[in-house]
Amino acid sequence: MDKTRRSFIGKGVGMSMALGFPALVRGKNLNGKVQVAAVGVNGMGFSDFSNIASHEKVQHVALCDVDLDRFDKAAEKAPTAKKFQDFREMFAQMGDQIDAVSVSTPDHMHALVAIEAMKRGKHVYCQKPLAHTVWEARQMRLWAEKTGVVTQMGNQIHSALEYRLGTRLIQDGAIGKVIEVHSWISVSGNERTRLLAPPKSGPVPKNLAWDLWLGCAPEREFAPEAYHPFVWRDWQDFGGGGLGDFGCHVLDPVFTALKLKAPLSVVADNSGINEHVWPVNETVRWTFPGSDLTAGKTLNVTWTDGGLKPARKLAKMPPELDLPGGGSIFIGEKGNMVLAHVAAPRLYPADKFTGFSYPDVGKKPIHWHRWVDAILGGEKTTDGFDYAGWLAETVQLGNVATRMATRPADSRGGHNIDPAHGATLLGWDAANMKFPNHPEAEKLLTKIYRKGWEVPAA
C-alpha cells in the first residue's frame, strides 16, 4: 500500500476533528482511490456495490456477507477484495485500509455496522430505512455529526429527476401553500411469509453464519424461507413492515419539499398486529409544525399501505386516470400535485395548469456517486444523515404508533386513527425523545440488544 496514503489515513478523521476541519477534507487529499468495504453484497447490496464500483475513483478492498453463497457476483467484479463473514473481523483486520463503507444488510443491523464504521472515521452509505428504531435513527445522525464523516442514505430516488422536480415545484409555490399530504404504497407489511409467529426451526445451511445474521437481534432458531434472504421484512425483530420498507422512499420528497424534521405527534391504526409481525395494512398520521410553505400552523401527513390508498377524488385528477401504486398527493391552496413513486409530478386540476412551464432541474446525478464525490471534496450530499436521520426517526415513530394499535394480528380489522374515538395519539417531544402523554410507549423507541451486540450511543 502507498506509504503516503497509509500515513494520511492513519491520522484519519481523528486528526481532522482535532483541527476542526470537516472530514471531507480528508477525501480531497487521498492520493489514490476511495477504498470501500461493502457489507451485505447480494440483493440490494449488489446494486449498491455495482453503483459505487462504477465510480472511477473507487476501489473495493473488502466484501462482507454472512452467507458464503452470496459473494459470487460482487467477488467476480472485485477479485482482489478480501472476503469476510463478520464485519467486526473486517474492521479489525483491514481498518487502516478502508476509507468508506456501504451498509446493505437487513434493517436490524444497519445502525450497528454504520456506527462502528463512523466511530472509526469511515464515510458511510447506508441503505434505507437507515435504522430499525427511533433511538437508532437519532444515534446515526448524532454519530455522523460527531465524526464529520460523509454520509448518504440509500434511498436512491432522492436523486431522481422526478423527485427533484416534484420538490422544486412545491418550493416554487406551483400549488401554493400546502394544506395536507397523503402518501401511500401498495406493499403490505406481512405479505412475504404471511406467518404470524416464528415457524418450526430447520437446519442452518452450511454457507450461512446464522449467529452473525442474527447479530443484535434476540436469539431465535433458523427456519428455512422464513427470514433469510429478503423475507425478514415481515418480522418486527428484523424489518419495519410496509412503512419501514417504503417510508424513506415515498416520504423523502415530502420531507425535502417541505423541509420537515420532527413531528409534533403521531397516531396510527392497522389491520391487526402482534409482537412478532407487522400488519397487513396500516394508517399513520403525523402532525408537523407549519412553516412558510404550509397553509396552516400545522401540517398533517397521512400514510397508508397494504392496498389502502387515499380517496382518489382528493387529487382532482381527470376521470380517466387513477392514483398510482405508490406516491404522494400534495394538496395546496392553488392546486394539487400527485408525485408517483416513481414518475414525473402531475399538477391538478389539469385545466388550471394548461401550458404550465416546468422548471429545468438539470441532469440526473447518480445517488451513489454523489456520496463518493462528496468524500473526494465535492458538493455536500443532500441525503446525509443530518437530513435522513429526521426522516428515519419519523418513519420509526410511525411504527411505534402502529405497535400501540393493538388489534389482534389475525383480525383484519378496520381503521380508526381518530383520537376522539380511542386511537392513541402520541405527542412527541423530539428534543428529549419522550411521549409526555404516553410514557409507556417510550419503551418502543428502542429495542433490547443481544449481549455483546449493543449499538453505542453517540
Ligand X SMILES: NC(=O)c1ccc[n+]([C@@H]2O[C@H](COP(=O)([O-])OP(=O)(O)OC[C@H]3O[C@@H](n4cnc5c(N)ncnc54)[C@H](O)[C@@H]3O)[C@@H](O)[C@H]2O)c1
* Residues found near ligand X in the complex (CB under 6 A): 39-40, 42-45, 64-67, 70, 87, 104-107, 109, 127-128, 154-156, 212-213, 215, 228-230
Beta carbon nearer to ligand X, 10 or 205: 205
Beta carbon nearer to ligand X, 26 or 108: 108
C-alpha to C-alpha distance for 186 and 166, rounded to whole angstroms: 21
Is there a contact between 417 and 271 (Cβ–Cβ < 8 Å)? no
- Shortest distance in whole angstroms from residue 175 CB to ligand X: 27
- Shortest distance in whole angstroms from residue 108 CB to ligand X: 9
- Shortest distance in whole angstroms from residue 40 CB to ligand X: 3
- Shortest distance in whole angstroms from residue 29 CB to ligand X: 30
Whether the bond between 456 and the residue before it is cis, its omega within 30 degrees of 0, is no
Residue whose C-beta lies closest to ligand X: 43
Beta carbon nearer to ligand X, 65 or 99: 65
Beta carbon nearer to ligand X, 103 or 317: 103
- Which spans in 29-183 are helix H? 44-53, 72-77, 87-94, 110-119, 134-147, 161-172
Beta carbon nearer to ligand X, 12 or 215: 215
Q: Phi, psi at residue 111, to the nearest 5°?
A: -65, -40
CA-wise closest residue to 27 among 81, 100, 126: 100
Beta carbon nearer to ligand X, 89 or 333: 89
C-alpha to C-alpha distance for 260 and 254, rounded to whole angstroms: 8
- Shortest distance in whole angstroms from residue 10 CB to ligand X: 26
Strands across the sheet containing 178-185: 346-348, 336-340, 326-332, 178-185, 298-305, 282-289, 265-270, 426-427
Residue given cell 398527493 in the structure block: 329
Distance of CA 224 to the CA centre of its chain: 27
C-alpha to C-alpha distance for 314 and 6, rounded to whole angstroms: 59
- Shortest distance in whole angstroms from residue 11 CB to ligand X: 28
